[in-house]
Structure 1
Amino acid sequence: MTSSPIPTRVVLLTGPSGSGKSSLAARTGLPVLRLDDFYKEGDDPTLPLVAGGSDIDWDSPRSWDADAAVAAIADLCRTGRTTVPVYDIATSSRVGREAFDIDRTPLFVAEGIFAADIVARCGELGVLADALCLRGRPSVTFRRRLARDLREGRKSVGFLLRRGWRLMRAERGIVARQTGLGAYPCGKEEALGRVAAAAAGRCRTPRTSQPAAAGRPSSP
């Protein structure tokens, strides 16, 4: 009698922008789906604005295509492959599409600042292994985020400074929101331990809660 194939599952990795999600995901050695590639394009009329300003609010989940992200995760868990957009943050546009194949790997990581917003949906699909929220000191996150964004030329300096100060003040609320959506708050080493446990088949699927209202990801 042949054994059933091991089902593929996903670890959702979230946290404030600059918290170290990408570097931690790379350290796991697992395939990594970049959820930032599912941002809407800059000319999309549904993009939200920062309250009281004219900047696009790229930190609102309404700036992101959750349906497309969930569909890609479902494809990977079902078939091991999907097609994803290639997103250029500097120009706020999709510049192509590419194949993404995880072969027969039974676990992969999907990382991005909106990963917590799809915890419940991945749980309902039966593909969720764990959901983690990286947390740290807001001042450290601010410096790391600004250095990265300036190095990569993601947006204008003025925009990055305004966004950076706003996110630093809101960071604790961002973590609280992501935790409320079902992501487990932890540091990098604990996160790596939980990913290792999921890879070994000791999944600790988080308790999901009701999604928060769409809009700003943090408390006022």
Structure 2
Amino acid sequence: MIDTRLPLYQQLRDDFLHRIQTGEWSPDAALPSENELCESLGVAVGTVRKALDVLVAEGVLVRQQGRGTFLRRASFDASLFRFFRHEDREGRRRVPDSHILSRRGLQADAGLADLLRLAPGEPVLGLNRLRRIDGEVVLVEEIRLPATRFALLADLPIEEFGPLLYPLYERLCGQIVTSARESLAVATANAEIAAHLGIALGSPIVEIERLALDCTGQPIEWRRSWGRGDRFRYRVDIR
């Protein structure tokens, strides 16, 4: 519900977010033009532009010269793989294939509930998967999703998940990931991770934890990925 006590541009910003969240505005098409919004809403162009400017500044929308305004999508797999050297036998960079190891219904413990903004004990869908290149496991992952938002994934045949999850979330469940927070840590491989990665028990590994958010800032996915320490690299540009 829109808070009518807010300035009009802020009310429009909230209304636009609602339209995106409910699917009224397709993520694959440009939003209506400023003039179209002014005409349909009966407000000044400056007010519409200010509301859109706020969503652009918040990273929800992006303006594309000559094309219009679109829902912003970050390249999340590119983000993850900037940390690891993932190449095939010919030295070409590759996005790994995905293999779901397990899928099960769980209850959120206190820590996960806090991250996903759920009540402790609420149902979550748990996925464990491997990422492979030419049959070699390069990442081990565990993923947790609010069960109510992702109910259609509970019975989806495993072979239909595909290599990338975010397009699947959007296509089947209407859940659009627009931003994420990542943290990195150094750890040592336990027996299960070592077996999957083909390394010795206790070998150094890199752990990447990600919390994915929708356009309103609501967390909709938590995941933890582990990769071999000898394939990890970190780069930052300091200006």
TM exceeds 0.5?
no
Question: When you count strand as a share of all residues, which structure comes out higher?
Answer: 2
Relative to the length of structure 2, the TM-score reads: 0.26
TM-score (norm 1): 0.27
Asked which structure has the greater CA Rg, the reply is 2
* Richer in helix (by share): 1
